[in-house]
Amino acid sequence: MLKYIGKRVLMAIPVIWGIVTIVFILMRVFSHSPAFLLLGQHATADKVAELTRYLGLDQPIWKQYLIYLGQLLRGDLGTSLFTKQPVLREIMERMPATIELAVFSVIMSSIIGVILGIACAVKQNSALDRIMQVTGLTGISLPRFWLGLILIIWLAVRAKLLPVSGRFDFMNQPKNITGFMLIDSALTGNWKAFGSTMRYMFLPALTIAVASIGSFMRYTRSTMLEVIRQDYIRTARAKGVPESRVVSRHALKNALIPVVTIIGMELGGLFSGSVLTETIFAWPGVGQYIVNGINNSDYAVVQSGCMLVAVISVFMNLAVDVLYGYLDPRIRY
């Protein structure tokens, strides 16, 4: 297992390097000059050229690239051109918001998706099965940014059931201990802040979870159908074991092993896929931070943010592979 982990870590290095290189080139080629944005539209050409030289952006792109790689090897992710703060510190300040939203979304989507997948497998080819399959496919196909705007109009603007944007109510802000609002609210016993944070989190989490629910449902259904056709399931039924126990104790336990892989992959993908969702709901996470960096041509912010998201996604997939091996000994053998 250690040899396998070592190989996967070595394989991750060129993947991360490739992402860093692509983002570096795209920012240099397709973005506006940060010097022009810093000085404003009324800046003279001389001032823009002077600031460009000061930032080192007048050098050849290959030289800028080598300088950036040298900074990464020293653990320096750079400084934001606009806030003048280290990018690593700003990302770490926003990371709890992204993690909290991603974990809450995965919990919501996995519970709902697994329950619906079991129901569809047990009632295969029924009206419920067909309706849920169409609904799941529709959820997977819906663009998240469009769905987020629709949910805002329906649930926040018209029904006034949930807040439109933000992460918490400033009147009920919990004491900052870990950076995770739900955990901080529970640790301080501020249940009013806990409920308020849940209300603010529900809409963006639902927007992200809709597509994941469809994936979990379809995957659970297919694995359940495969498991319930096994000999030991037929044997249990022949012994007179109640159908509810056959499903919950025998079939579900084995069918959920592959679903663990999907949960880990979804969690890793949410760090990169929640960018637009965080922007729509003004969620102060890493995704919104990267989008603001793109709009401001803040090279260090975009490059470092994308790199950290890539690192998290790669190692989440590695963690899932290792966990899957422990859950299913046949994988190790």
C-alpha distance from residue 235 to each of 78, 137, 247 (Å): 63, 34, 13
Question: Both 39 and 92 in a single domain?
Answer: no
CATH number of the domain encompassing residue 134: 1.10.3720.10
Residue at 3 is within a domain: no
* Separation between Cα atoms, residue 320 and residue 267, nearest integer Å: 10
Question: Both 55 and 105 in a single domain?
Answer: no
Name the helix (H) or strand (E) containing 28: helix 2-30
Neighbours of 160 (CB within 10 A): 9
Match 């460009």 to its residue by tokens: 52
Question: Both 68 and 173 in a single domain?
Answer: no
Tokens coding 301 = 């912010």
Identify the residue with better confidence: 7 or 24. 24
Question: Both 167 and 64 in a single domain?
Answer: no
Confidence of residue 154 (pLDDT cuts 50, 70, 90): very high
> Of the candidates 43, 73, 103, which is a domain's last residue?
73
Note the pLDDT tens digit of each residue in 269-284: 776 667 788 888 988 8
Question: Both 215 and 294 in a single domain?
Answer: yes
Burial bucket for residue 90 (CB in 10 Å: 0-12, 13-18, 19+):
buried
Residue at 12 is within a domain: no
* Separation between Cα atoms, residue 237 and residue 240, nearest integer Å: 5
Task: Quote the domain boundaries for residue 240.
Answer: 87-332
What per-residue confidence (pLDDT) applies to 255?
77
Question: Both 162 and 24 in a single domain?
Answer: no
Question: Both 30 and 155 in a single domain?
Answer: no
Note the pLDDT tens digit of each residue in 68-104: 888 888 888 888 888 888 998 999 889 899 889 988 9
Note the pLDDT tens digit of each residue in 39-65: 777 777 788 888 888 888 888 888 989
Question: Both 183 and 52 in a single domain?
Answer: no
Q: Domain total for the chain?
A: 2
* Separation between Cα atoms, residue 180 and residue 214, nearest integer Å: 28
Question: Both 217 and 302 in a single domain?
Answer: yes
What per-residue confidence (pLDDT) applies to 13?
83
* Separation between Cα atoms, residue 211 and residue 140, nearest integer Å: 4
Neighbours of 168 (CB within 10 A): 23
